[in-house]
Amino acid sequence: MQVKTQEFLRLCEDSGKLVFFDIEATGLRGDYNSILVISIKPYHQDPISFSVMQPGNDRRVVRQAADYLSSDKALIWCGYYSKGFDFPMITTRLLKWGLPPLEKKLHLDMYYMLKSKILTARRSQGHLLSWLGTENTKMGVGADVWNNVLEDPKKHMPTMIKRCESDCAGLEDLYDKTSHLILEVTR
């Protein structure tokens, strides 16, 4: 039996097994940088965040997030440029700690999906959220927070968690506004 993509998405939405995810990291490369926070937001539910106590030691965070993303709680992952950054960064950090890789699931990357469907001047999540007038917008974080999170994580990690959760909420809004354009979901 085959199920059409739109019907399948609705089934995943109804079951809460469509999950939005995002990470915040100290940089762009998993060998020289580490993850600060990973947020996972089941469709229309509150986000769950895994954050470090001390930047650099993300073993617990990547293990907990990988356990959730690999579990039966997540049937489809949805991210923004997540096939280009979030997923490889998590994979790199799991490898660093000698942990098993993420179980491969259906993965909807809204960046690539929208890139081939719409023609906008900019493709950033923040621009699209603003242009579409969504309830949630991209939360800005100043350079001082990014620069000082390593020095004083206790003070600045709440901001990083809030940003990561905000990105997941914005991603859900973007999905809600554009999901009718989704023709297929792949790994």
pLDDT tens-digit series, residues 153-166: 999 999 999 999 99
Task: Let me know if residue 40 belongs to a domain.
Answer: yes
Strand ranges (DSSP E) for the chain?
A: 18-25, 35-42, 48-51, 76-79, 106-109
At CA 36, angle to CA 30 and CA 40, rounded to 5? 100
Neighbouring C-beta atoms of residue 52, cutoff 10 Å: 22
Domain count across the chain: 1
Q: Which H or E run contains 68?
A: helix 59-70
Residue with the two structure tokens 């890139």: 115
Which pLDDT tens digit goes with each residue over 34-64?
A: 999 999 999 999 999 999 999 999 999 999 9
Strand ranges (DSSP E) for 45-163?
A: 48-51, 76-79, 106-109
User: In terms of residue numbers, what domain contains 93?
Assistant: 5-180
Task: Let me know if residue 187 belongs to a domain.
Answer: no
* Whether the predicted pLDDT of 26 surpasses 70: yes
Under DSSP, is residue 186 helix (H, G, I), strand (E, B) or coil?
A: strand
* Whether the predicted pLDDT of 1 surpasses 80: no
> What are the two backbone dihedrals, phi and then psi, of residue 48, each rounded to the nearest 5 degrees?
-115, 130
pLDDT-wise least confident of 48-52, 74-78, 115-119, 143-147:
143-147
Task: Let me know if residue 158 belongs to a domain.
Answer: yes
Task: Let me know if residue 140 belongs to a domain.
Answer: yes
C-alpha to C-alpha distances, 32 to 26, 27, 92, 93, 137, nearest whole angstrom? 9, 8, 11, 10, 30
Q: Domain holding 29: CATH number?
A: 3.30.420.10
* Whether the predicted pLDDT of 133 surpasses 70: yes
**Phi-psi sector, 46: left (phi>0), alpha (psi -120 to 50), beta:** beta
Task: Let me know if residue 185 belongs to a domain.
Answer: no
Task: Let me know if residue 186 belongs to a domain.
Answer: no
pTM (two decimals): 0.95
Task: Let me know if residue 80 belongs to a domain.
Answer: yes
Across the chain, mean pLDDT equals 95
Give me the pLDDT at residue 185, please. Answer: 87
Q: How confident is the model at residue 3 (pLDDT cuts 50, 70, 90)?
A: confident
Residues linked to residue 19 through DSSP beta bridges, in sequence order? 42, 77
